[in-house]
Amino acid sequence: MKKTLEFKAHDGEIEDIALGPDNKVVTAGRDFQCCVWQQDQLVTGLRWNENLPGIPDKAYRYQACRDSGTFLGLGTVTGSVAIHIAFSLQ
């Protein structure tokens, strides 16, 4: 596998990663954050509780996963994300 990108996405462990066809990466971390990235640049953070003001920020954690078949996303316990080309995985 060839690493194409690595960056710090979260404080603490990465819960899950989704890779989109438009080269965007969505990460969900144990820091109660869910973020959309273009390369290593933050596009937006998802705020599920903006319309539910009575629920505290840390009431729920994000968790999601999707297979793109082209890239492999690796989230670490330190909060970094590495993207690998997965064409040779068997």
When comparing pLDDT for 79 and 8, which is higher? 8
pLDDT band at residue 20 using 50, 70 and 90 as cut-offs:
confident
- 33 within 8 A of 64, measured Cβ to Cβ: no
Instruction: State pTM to two decimals.
Output: 0.62
The answer as to whether 49 is a domain residue is yes
pLDDT band at residue 40 using 50, 70 and 90 as cut-offs:
very high
The parent domain of residue 18 ranges over: 2-85
The answer as to whether 24 is a domain residue is yes
Note every long-range contact of 26-31, with CB atoms under 8 Å and residues 24 or more positions apart, other chains counting.
26/64, 27/75, 27/81, 28/61, 28/62, 28/63, 28/64, 29/62, 29/75, 29/79, 30/61, 31/79
Which of 8-12, 16-20, 46-50, 86-90 has the highest mean predicted lDDT (pLDDT)? Answer: 8-12
- 25 within 8 A of 36, measured Cβ to Cβ: yes
Q: How many domains does the structure of the chain reveal?
A: 1
pLDDT band at residue 61 using 50, 70 and 90 as cut-offs:
low
pLDDT in the model for residue 8: 92
The answer as to whether 90 is a domain residue is no
